[in-house]
Amino acid sequence: MSSQPHVIVVGGGSAGLFAALGLADHARVTLIEAGIDPGSPAPSRYVDEHRYPECDWDYTEADTGVHLVRGKVLGGCSTVNAAAAVRGQPSCFAGWGNAWQWDDVLPTFRAIETDEQFGAAPYHGDAGPVVVTRLAQGPLDIAFLDAAKKRGHADCADHNAPGAFGAGPWPTNRVDGSRWGTLAAVAPLVRGRVDIRASSAVRSLVADGGRVTGVEIDGVAGRETLAADLVILAAGAFGTPEILVRSGLDLAGVGAGLQDHPWISMDVDADADAIMARPVSGGLLRYDGAAAGESVSEIQIFPFSAFIYDPSVAPSRYRMSVGLMEPQSRGSVEVDERNTRIHLKHLRDDVDAERMAAGVRHAGELLEDMATAGVVRLPADPWWQAPDLVAAMRARVESYNHPVGTCAIGSVVDERLRTENLTGLRIADASVMPVIPQANTNLTAMMIGARCAELVLADDFA
């Protein structure tokens, strides 16, 4: 029997696999993942695994009935996501408290990545497992980036350089075109060192007084209770509050701070061959959309093939997307024994609606410029020219698939990811983000998992 402490990581997603990797040499680690372990990941280029129902938790937004994708598979959402790899501005972390300021998190961001183009820069890494690369641009990306630059946006070669804004290539997690999430990048590093129990769902945490002592799982061998010295809960922004509530653990604030980036799509037509030359977007515009007197309010605009996410549409459908990256609206995840009700509350805040409207108008200008250049065809009556643009957007807004904040630092957990009333437990996934980063959330979730391992080593195993 090993004399090392036993750590159970619940959830083998973006954060959970990094937490397991960081502790593998210092503890006996068991990783429990509800979804399947696909083994060596099959190459996935443009088609997304979230079309496969067995890899999806099948959540629904309570107010709109819209399906919300969450990966139920080893690698979690990083196995089904769009592989965009943006880590946000240093200012994103200002409100996260001690241990999470830019100088604290930058070494971890650097350690997890190999940036193929900018690895030598002081704010990048060149030896981590997660490959970050920039896709070659197709003809429509080039036309889009040209239109953005003609409208005055700066050229931006590296969207992950601190303070970067402008138009340039998307950083992505891809190797030879295939998605490079934690299933591809981290699972091979922990196999044989960590006991990975896939197809095993944690029903509840087991607690004795104020101490978490293990988990109850429904695994391949039936129902089991596993004892642990430490449980790291990394089941994601919806899964983590579900487990806490269904364990009967009374933690104030669970589910209350949900944030997500609202996403608006503007569809036009273009030459299908030009789209399919690079159906995943190779071009991203990020700019400060703040009105006078406001602090920075980041907007993302980027085009791609609509066909990737919706195979029922024609390959000639070209989708301009607008993301509001610093939303003020907050929603909630309400959990009881049987149901989970997710209220995203996108664009309910009037400031959010106005900022998004300005972003949509600007995307419309770029589309008009591209139409004038002859590379896209606008619809006869574009919805984004409606007199009541806010109402039109509220009817169309979708999730950018970046839910965070349901067990936030400063609310449910402290800066070291511990809860106030329970020992033997840390929470480490997108649920702990107290403010949504002005970036796609995957790299930040990975950083949180790796940082959790660092905090455990410093606090518990020193």
Ligand X SMILES: Cc1cc2nc3c(=O)[nH]c(=O)nc-3n(C[C@H](O)[C@H](O)[C@H](O)COP(=O)(O)OP(=O)(O)OC[C@H]3O[C@@H](n4cnc5c(N)ncnc54)[C@H](O)[C@@H]3O)c2cc1C
The single residue among 243, 366, 370, 417 that binds ligand X, judged by CB under 6 A, is 243
Whole-angstrom distance, CA of residue 358 vs CA of residue 355 = 5
**Half-sphere exposure for 169 (CA within 13 Å, toward CB):** 16
Q: Binding marks (x or -) toward ligand X, 104..143, rule CB under 6 A?
A: ----------------------------------------
What are the φ and ψ backbone dihedral angles of 404, each rounded to 5 degrees?
Answer: -150, 170
CB closest to ligand X, residue no: 13
Q: Binding marks (x or -) toward ligand X, 288..317, rule CB under 6 A?
A: ------------------------------
Under DSSP, is residue 248 helix (H, G, I), strand (E, B) or coil? Answer: coil
Q: Binding marks (x or -) toward ligand X, 30..59, rule CB under 6 A?
A: --xxxx--------------x---------
Q: How far is the CB of 51 from ligand X (least distance, A)?
A: 10
Q: Which is nearer to ligand X, 259 or 440 (CB)?
A: 440
The single residue among 186, 228, 235, 344 that binds ligand X, judged by CB under 6 A, is 235
Region 61-80 residues binding ligand X, contact defined as CB under 6 A: 69-72, 76-78, 80
**Half-sphere exposure for 396 (CA within 13 Å, toward CB):** 21
Q: Is the Cβ–Cβ distance between 418 and 425 less than 8 Å?
A: yes
- Does 15 bind ligand X (CB under 6 A)? Our answer is yes
- Does 402 bind ligand X (CB under 6 A)? Our answer is yes
Long-range CB pairs of 348-354, under 8 A, 24+ apart, other chains included: 352/262, 352/324, 352/327, 352/328, 353/390, 353/393, 353/394, 354/291, 354/390
- Does 20 bind ligand X (CB under 6 A)? Our answer is no
The single residue among 401, 406, 419, 438 that binds ligand X, judged by CB under 6 A, is 401
Under DSSP, is residue 49 helix (H, G, I), strand (E, B) or coil? Answer: helix
Q: How far is the CB of 218 from ligand X (least distance, A)?
A: 9
Looking at residue 4, its amino acid is: Q
The b-or-e profile of 228-262 (16+ CB within 10 A means b, else e) is: bbbbbbbbbbbbbbbbbbbbebebeebbbbbbbbb
CA distance between the termini of the chain: 22
* Residues binding ligand X: number (CB under 6 A): 41
Determine the length of the chain. Answer: 462
- Does 283 bind ligand X (CB under 6 A)? Our answer is no
State the residues that interact with ligand X by CB under 6 A: 10-16, 32-35, 50, 69-72, 76-78, 80-84, 201-202, 234-237, 239, 243, 401-402, 429-430, 440-443, 445
